[in-house]
Amino acid sequence: MNEDREDAFSSDQYQYTNRWFSGGAKSVWDKLIPQVDPSKILEIGSYEGASACYLIDMLSPRGRVEMHCIDTWEGGIEHKSGGAFESDMTSVEKRFLHNTRLSISRAQNEVVLMQHRGRSDDELARLVAEGRRGYFDFIYVDGSHQAPDVLSDAILSFVLLRKNGVIAFDDYLWQERLSYGADPLRCPKLVIDAFTNIFFRKIRIISAPLQQLYVQKIDD
């Protein structure tokens, strides 16, 4: 069993089977998110909703929250050959619905949750086509870790982000343990590096531990 995988546990009535978020991004978000203070949020890769519920719980006492969650709820191709993922993704999606409903039921202000089930390239393009260019305050890129997928996630996220908004790329340094070693085309880092170089004049990199990479949009 992969070391990331833990037995199912409940936290404050939430149903999570891993600590990816609580053991990773959370410590940075505790300080960063109140500063960004987003109300329109887009998440690529929601799984059981741990990061989405964290954002709803933290931000809903401050005002209205609009949360868009994109996921195939099929897992990534890097996990098909036996990784940290639950093989029963129907149960994962049921836990996402349980967790987000619980979070919303406790919210002090209106929370609008839009669940977009599909590939991120399709769903992000749909959001652009619907007129949401420059719409989101905060975008969390935590879907596929395959470089070609992260490329479309990065570029379309930039289009959808408002000026001064922030994109958080998870797993900047993540890599699979493959029999032939690391494969840069199966990691996010190659794309995040290319994106931050090509968009150099339009973004500011926010100083943070390198497990995630945070960029602020400073120009269109």
Ligand X SMILES: C[S@@+](CC[C@H](N)C(=O)[O-])C[C@H]1O[C@@H](n2cnc3c(N)ncnc32)[C@H](O)[C@@H]1O
**Which of 128/218 has CB closer to ligand X?**
128
**Which of 115/202 has CB closer to ligand X?**
115
141 forms bridges with which residues in the sheet? Answer: 44, 169
**Which of 57/74 has CB closer to ligand X?**
74
H-only helix segments in 37-119: 50-59, 89-105
Q: Is the Cβ–Cβ distance between 21 and 54 less than 8 Å?
A: yes
Q: How far apart are the first and last CA of the chain?
A: 45
User: Is residue 29 part of the contact set for ligand X (CB under 6 A)?
Assistant: no
Shortest reach from residue 144's CB to ligand X, in Å: 3
Sign of CA dihedral 170, 207, 162, 107: positive
φ, ψ for residue 176, nearest 5 deg: -80, 155
Q: Determine the Cα–Cα distance for residues 148 and 188; give it in Å rounded to an integer.
A: 9
User: Is residue 70 part of the contact set for ligand X (CB under 6 A)?
Assistant: yes
Pick from 15, 32, 58, 76 the residue near ligand X by CB under 6 A.
Answer: 76
Neighbours of 53 (CB within 10 A): 25
Shortest reach from residue 146's CB to ligand X, in Å: 8
User: Is residue 144 part of the contact set for ligand X (CB under 6 A)?
Assistant: yes
Shortest reach from residue 214's CB to ligand X, in Å: 15
Q: Which range touches ligand X (CB under 6 A), out of 34-42, 142-150, 183-191, 197-205?
A: 142-150
**Which of 21/135 has CB closer to ligand X?**
21
User: Is residue 119 part of the contact set for ligand X (CB under 6 A)?
Assistant: yes
Token pair recorded at residue 217: 């949009």
Q: Determine the Cα–Cα distance for residues 60 and 153; give it in Å rounded to an integer.
A: 26
**Which of 20/169 has CB closer to ligand X?**
20
Q: Which of 61, 70, 13 is nearest to 33 (CA)?
A: 61
- Binding pattern to ligand X, positions 33-62, x when CB under 6 A? ------------xxxx-xx-----------
**Which of 103/120 has CB closer to ligand X?**
120
Q: Determine the Cα–Cα distance for residues 68 and 139; give it in Å rounded to an integer.
A: 9
Point out which residues bind ligand X (CB under 6 A).
20-21, 45-48, 50-51, 70-76, 119-120, 142-144, 149
